[in-house]
Amino acid sequence: MIPFIDLTRQHAALRAELLGAAARVLDSSQFVLGAEGKALEQELAALCGVRRALGVASGTDALRLALAALGVGPGDEVITPAFSFVASASTILMVGATPVFVDIDPATYALDVAAAERAITARTRAIVPVHLYGHPAPMDRVVELARAHRLAVIEDAAQAVGSAWAERPVGAWGDAACLSFYPTKNLGACGDAGMVVTDRADVAERVAKLRHHGDSGRYEHVELGYCSRLDELQAAVLRVKLRHLAAWTAARRRIADRYRARLAGVGLELPIEAAHARHVYHLFTVRHPQRDALAKLLADEGVSTAVYYPRSVPDQPMFGGGAERRWPEAWRASRDVLSLPCFAELSDDEVEQVAAGVVRACGRL
Ligand SMILES: *Cc1c(COP(=O)(O)O)cnc(C)c1O
């Protein structure tokens, strides 16, 4: 069976380096808010083309703290796409604000900017675009819309580290952006971790307080904060992996090119890379009206697949439902998307086997 993702390959290749990094932290015995975290913050700020980065406990907390740092709270509405991981919207609820869902552009899965404009009310405070699957949202148009209405922009870049729109990295467009280092993300920790990146000194200072009990420096708690730091072991692991990220992204892009060449004309809708976009293929996601039957045939072919996501966000039981009528593209995506194996350690042979399996499976549908 070809795995959907296999982290053991990555960790076997980096084993000595990772153990060395962990030993360094153990020897320093500084585990929270130390030198590794600081160095990682500088490295990721540079990668995202911004001045500041703040390590936090998860991508979810990065969103939550960024929203709070920008003053989003009760009474505010925040616009976010109806198709994403639940955290893009649940974090809006966590700070006491109201998520306002807008439909997606079916070609890129990014929020539909015209729909976002129609959703703006007097209460709208912010927009949370999501760079889903590693494909950037059209950030020039998102930022232009936000400026015209004085809205904050918080990029959900959890799946898109290293991606860019119009040559400018994701993370550099919004007032703040959120990265996730969940183990299966393109840059994954050995546990939970996340980061807020921002070019705004005021936002960085506020996140620095919020992640550490609202502490302004020395046991002086100036506001209600959280306990959400990125620990030194994870930071050390991430610094080892960050040195390989560019090569891993290049490998993902090569796999995507190969799939695209092999799967043209078999009756699948293939992912696109829009003009101005640099896709980092966190997921290689195809579409087919008989998605479940296709997944079953592929399993019989020895190819593992996965569905991100089987429900739109508003159709999650915690929200009100109604996506089929109100966010039809998000609803349709939840019914027909299917992701194929796409990770850097996949061999050429395996890529070929996946492609051949998909061609055969499509022939039988
Ligand atoms: C993974 C993810 C998150 C949350 O990140 P965690 O580190 O798992 O908390 C948020 N948004 C999107 C789009 C994600 O894929």
Model pLDDT for residues 5-61, shown as the tens digit of each residue: 999 999 999 999 999 999 999 999 999 999 999 999 999 999 999 999 999 999 999
Closest residue by Cα to atom 7, ligand 1, is 59
Task: Name the β-bridge partners of 2.
Answer: 303
| 284 and 321 inside one domain | yes
- Domain boundary, last residue among 193, 214, 242: 242
* Nearest atom, ligand 1, residue 88 CA: 11
For residue 180, how far is its CA from the centre of ligand 1 (angstroms)? 6
* Nearest atom, ligand 1, residue 182 CA: 7
| 221 and 328 inside one domain | no
* Residue 2 lies inside a defined structural domain of this protein: no
- Is residue 238 within 8 A of residue 181, CB to CB? The reply is yes
- Please tell me the distance from the alpha carbon of residue 221 to that of residue 45, in angstroms, as a whole number: 27
Looking at residue 132, the DSSP 8-state letter turns out to be: G
Of 135, 154, 161, 180, the one to substitute when testing ligand 1's pocket (max ligand atoms within 8 A of C-beta) is 180
Looking at residue 134, the DSSP 8-state letter turns out to be: G
Q: Please state whether the peptide bond connecting residue 308 to the residue before it is cis, i.e. omega within 30 degrees of 0.
A: no
| 125 and 50 inside one domain | yes
Domain extent for 279: 245-363
Provide the pLDDT for residue 217.
82
| 299 and 174 inside one domain | no
- Domain boundary, last residue among 227, 242, 257: 242
For residue 60, how far is its CA from the centre of ligand 1 (angstroms)? 6
| 200 and 228 inside one domain | yes
What is the per-residue pLDDT across 78-100, written as a single tens digit (0 to 9) for each? 999 999 999 999 999 999 999 99
Domains in the chain: how many in total?
2
* Ligand 1 environment, Cβ below 6 A: 58-60, 84-85, 87-88, 130, 156, 158-159, 180, 182, 192, 194
Q: Give the residue carrying structure tokens 């009100």.
A: 320
What is the per-residue pLDDT across 173-213, written as a single tens digit (0 to 9) for each? 999 999 999 999 999 999 999 999 999 999 999 999 999 99
* Residue 151 lies inside a defined structural domain of this protein: yes
Residue 218 has pLDDT above 90, yes or no: no
Whichever domain contains 135, its CATH number is 3.40.640.10
| 272 and 320 inside one domain | yes
What is the per-residue pLDDT across 230-277, written as a single tens digit (0 to 9) for each? 999 999 999 999 999 999 999 999 999 999 999 999 999 999 999 999
* Residue 181 lies inside a defined structural domain of this protein: yes
Provide the pLDDT for residue 210.
97
* Residue 1 lies inside a defined structural domain of this protein: no
- Is residue 13 within 8 A of residue 345, CB to CB? The reply is yes
H helix runs in the chain, sequence order: 7-13, 15-28, 35-48, 59-69, 87-94, 113-118, 139-148, 201-210, 232-242, 245-263, 291-300, 323-326, 328-336, 348-364
* Residue 198 lies inside a defined structural domain of this protein: yes
| 144 and 24 inside one domain | yes
For residue 361, how far is its CA from the centre of ligand 1 (angstroms)? 31
Closest residue by Cα to atom 10, ligand 1, is 87
* Residue 15 lies inside a defined structural domain of this protein: yes
* pLDDT average, residue stretch 281-294: 98
Note the pTM of the prediction, 2 decimals. Answer: 0.98
| 89 and 231 inside one domain | yes
For residue 131, how far is its CA from the centre of ligand 1 (angstroms)? 11
Looking at residue 110, the DSSP 8-state letter turns out to be: S
Provide the pLDDT for residue 186.
98
